[in-house]
Amino acid sequence: MTKNNKKEPSKARIKYEQILADLRNPIKKAVRAQKISNKLGSLFRAIIIIGLSFVIIFPIFQQITLAFRHPQDVQNPLVIWIPEKWSILNFKIAFRLLKYEESLFNNIQVSLIAMLGQVTCSVLAGYALSRLKFKGSNIIFLLLLMTFIIPPQAVSVSRMLYFANFDIFGIVKLLNGGNTISLSGKRFVLYLMTFTGQGINSAIFIFLFRQFFRGVPVELEESAEIDGAGVFRTFWSVMLPNARGVMVTVALFSFVWQWNDVYYTSLLQLSSTDFTLLTMQLKNTAEWLPSLMKFYKLDALVDPEIRGNAMFTSLIANTAGFMMCLPLLIGYLFVQKLFVEGIERTGIVG
Amino acid sequence: MSEELKVNEEIQEEELLEETDEEQAGPIINTFDEEEKIDESKGIKKFFKNIGKKIGAFFKLIARKYNGSKFSKVVDVVLKYIGKFFYYLFYPVVLFKRKVYDKMSHAGQKVFVSILFLSPALLGFLIFYLYPLIMSLVYAFSTVSVETGKGIQVMFGQHQENGVWVKDFFYNFKELFTGATGMLPIKNPTSGAEEKISLFQALFQTAGTTILDTLVITIFSLLIAVMLNGNFKGRAFARAIFFLPVILNSEAIEAATESTEAIDSMLNSVGSNALTNIFDMKAFMTSIGIPGKLVTFLNGITSTIYSTISYAGVQILIFLAAIQSVPAHLYEAAKIEGATKYEEFWKITLPMVSPMILTVVVYTIVDSFLRSDLNEYIQQLAKNPMYGFHAAASWSYIIVSLLILGIALLVLKKVVFYYDEK
């Protein structure tokens, strides 16, 4: 046995030497290094992505558990995450305070029309700026970009005064017997603004469409022209169907931004007692909770001790905020693929 | 009324005629009946099929009765007149198309359509944007007040001192930068106490944070976009999560939670932290128990990490789209040459994505300037006799943001690489 061992190395020995050779082999070394670095890379990625996802999801999770917490638990130091007493009382109160059933439909109406306006205006302008160029169209593009770079929010007061005393170069005064008109409280004005490229971040949408149309091969257009299609025809039946992906993206973004908007709603004072919008109702709820509770006769639902508590205010504000986002969240579950893939299909390059 | 009666009579007449029609279509109906016999086992299906058939027959009946009836003639005439009405209503358009548009050259038509397509955006720009912008520039150099019944009163280049109007163009700016009006209450980031600092200082601070924010958000969003672009399990799910902040990021919610935060900080009790720090990870990270000096360092990052993510949503999307549009053959070639992922990023992804860095930087600068505390405090100047000050403050703020943008563009001009131009 021992002699054999000396002459012929054992299987273990062979294996060991093979491993040693493998370790010294430069090609295998490189392959191994790459494999390890790939694995480490994906581990790193997994850690970061899971960590950040947690950071994103945690507040939402916390908001949900808070919303289900009974108001009596508001100052209970034992309750941090999972409520001791589950209740939908917060939802009931927030529902009434937000005028949810009305404001929800109002919000949907405003956001949908604004979305339509944004898409229509920006697709037309984007196409004109990329494919129907003429002398000075670059200047127009720069001017439109200016609306983003110097955002209207920055000069909000002059805009507010202007809208309160509306007068286009003296024409309105002439027609209205020397008086200016106030645009506040008129939804029509918001719709007009979205249709004329002055909605929320319209310049970005125009930019997106311009980038997209620039990337569409010229041959497509030329062949349509050779086949006898006019300018309108080329736009409508060749270019527009191609831009479906960008249109979806722009539509979703404008819908969401309009939904969450505070600036335009307060500028035009769109939200009133007759026509409530979720964002303004939420703001009012957070600011005037005790008096609003009295106004809507909700006092009986909660003990007076808790009612005066600041934590109760923030509890209701959180629930109301969650309720405001809920339709968007539910919608996002369904269109999430469109949202992400839409922008990928935009194919924007420089 | 008489016409309707006549129509009714006709319907009765045609009902009689109908029977003969069915006989003509007999063989076809018979085949249908045979099919139905096979389907007999499925009762519900048959039931619905029958209903469908009946509805179909009803519409066929109406159509048959309508065609050629007197009523249809009346409708035709009415429609013709409506058509004519619209034709004449839009006659100028038609005339224009025939006389002018059709006679243009193709290039001319293109320019015309271009202007037509741009006209809504230009109109909105002129009416809703440019006019207020110019007016705010005027306001910045004047005293503005609003009196009921008189509208806006602008005294250009003047201000009131002890009831006397004094001429001084830069009064608003002087007062803001040196006087008491320009003292803005700003929260000290370290102690949390409110301090009064001059507008000049505030501008300087905001510019600093904006530059820092822009750097962090741009790099962060690029890295996240590269990570999300890779092929891994649950990619769709991860993407869905990362774009959630775009949807949930609302000023209204921020405002709602902020207004309650003020009350809570006064109470400063145990429970309040858990309630109001919903959008703040700081409390959570410290409660997990990360030891010693790491906490202070991590606190700096973790307290801003949520805001960084929530402000980077759009930027991640832009970068992701840009990375997706990088030609795949470049990566294939790099793989054959034996490039590592690290090299691929620096040699391919970054140069190809660099035009989009410009877009992202511009977007981030504007966005973070709008979100800054300074903007909020400037908005507080918007009280009735102070409109002039507000305009002056916002214009000095616009100029600073434009300066930062200009510097960023100059720096990036050297970095940006255009694939087409090569």
Cα separation, A163 vs A179, whole angstroms: 13
Helix (H, G, I), strand (E, B) or coil at B143: strand
Helix (H, G, I), strand (E, B) or coil at A29: helix
Per-residue pLDDT tens over the stretch B135-173: 888 888 888 777 766 667 777 777 777 677 777 777 778
Q: Is the confidence at residue B420, as pLDDT, over 90?
A: no
- Of the pLDDT bands very low, low, confident and very high (cuts 50, 70, 90), residue B182 is low
Interchain contact B308–A (C-beta under 8 A): no
- Which of B222, B229, B244 is the best residue to mutate to test the A interface, defined by the most A CB atoms within 10 Å of its own CB? B244
The CATH class that applies to domain B187-415 reads mainly alpha
How many residues in total does chain B contain?
A: 422
Q: How far is B91 from chain A (nearest CA, A)?
A: 19
Q: Give percent of chain B with pLDDT exceeding 70.
A: 71
Average pLDDT over residues B368-375: 80
Average pLDDT over residues B205-226: 88
Q: Is the confidence at residue B422, as pLDDT, over 70?
A: no
Which residues, 6+ apart, have CB-to-CB distance to B282 below 8 Å?
Answer: B299, B302, B303
Q: What are phi and psi of B323, to 5 degrees?
A: -65, -40
Q: Give percent of chain B with pLDDT exceeding 90.
A: 5
* CA neighbor of A184 nearest in space, from A202, A201, A165, A171: A165
Token pair listed for B326: 């990088």
> Averaged in consecutive runs of 10 residues, what is the pLDDT profile of chain A (350 residues)?
61 87 83 83 86 82 79 63 75 87 91 94 93 88 89 79 75 70 82 89 89 82 84 86 82 90 84 85 81 77 71 80 88 76 52
Q: How high is the pLDDT of residue A122? A: 93
Contact A325 B250 (CB under 8 A): yes
Q: How high is the pLDDT of residue B23? A: 46
Token pair listed for A182: 């106030």
Q: For residue B164, what are the β-bridge partners? A: B161
Per-residue pLDDT tens over the stretch B53-62: 889 988 888 8
Q: How high is the pLDDT of residue A346? A: 54
Average pLDDT over residues B191-218: 80
CATH of A96-346, one of 3.30.9.10, 1.10.1240.10, 3.40.190.10, 1.10.3720.10: 1.10.3720.10
Q: How high is the pLDDT of residue A115? A: 94
The chain A residue lying nearest B359, using CA atoms, is A350
Q: Is the confidence at residue B264, as pLDDT, over 50?
A: no
Q: For residue B155, what are the β-bridge partners? A: B143
Mean residue pLDDT of chain B comes to 75
Which residues, 6+ apart, have CB-to-CB distance to B283 below 8 Å?
Answer: B273, B274, B277
Q: How high is the pLDDT of residue A349? A: 44
Q: How high is the pLDDT of residue B300? A: 60
Q: How far is A161 from chain B (nearest CA, A)?
A: 8
Average pLDDT over residues B297-317: 74
Q: Is the confidence at residue B317, as pLDDT, over 90?
A: no
Cβ neighbours of A155 in B, within 8 Å = 132-133, 136, 391, 394-395, 398
Cβ neighbours of A341 in B, within 8 Å = none
Per-residue pLDDT tens over the stretch B75-124: 888 999 998 888 888 888 888 888 888 888 888 888 888 999 999 999 99
- Of the pLDDT bands very low, low, confident and very high (cuts 50, 70, 90), residue B421 is very low
Minimum-distance CB partner of A53 among B241, B253, B322: B241
B304 against B36, higher pLDDT: B304
Q: What one-character-per-residue DSSP string does A85-108 give?
A: SB-SHHHHHHHHHHTHHHHHHHHH
Q: How far is B238 from chain A (nearest CA, A)?
A: 7
Question: Helices (H) and strands (E) in chain A — how many of each?
Answer: 19, 0
Cα separation, A12 vs A9, whole angstroms: 8
Q: How high is the pLDDT of residue B289? A: 55
- Of the pLDDT bands very low, low, confident and very high (cuts 50, 70, 90), residue B262 is very low
Average pLDDT over residues B24-36: 46
Contact B272 A49 (CB under 8 A): no
The boundaries of every CATH 1.10.3720 domain in chain B are: 187-415
Q: Is the confidence at residue B323, as pLDDT, over 50?
A: yes
Q: How high is the pLDDT of residue A128? A: 93
Minimum-distance CB partner of B355 among A49, A53, A349: A349
Q: Is the confidence at residue B2, as pLDDT, over 80?
A: no
- Of the pLDDT bands very low, low, confident and very high (cuts 50, 70, 90), residue B305 is confident
Cα separation, B1 vs B344, whole angstroms: 82
B103 against B422, higher pLDDT: B103
Q: In chain A, where are the structural domains located?
A: 2-56, 96-346
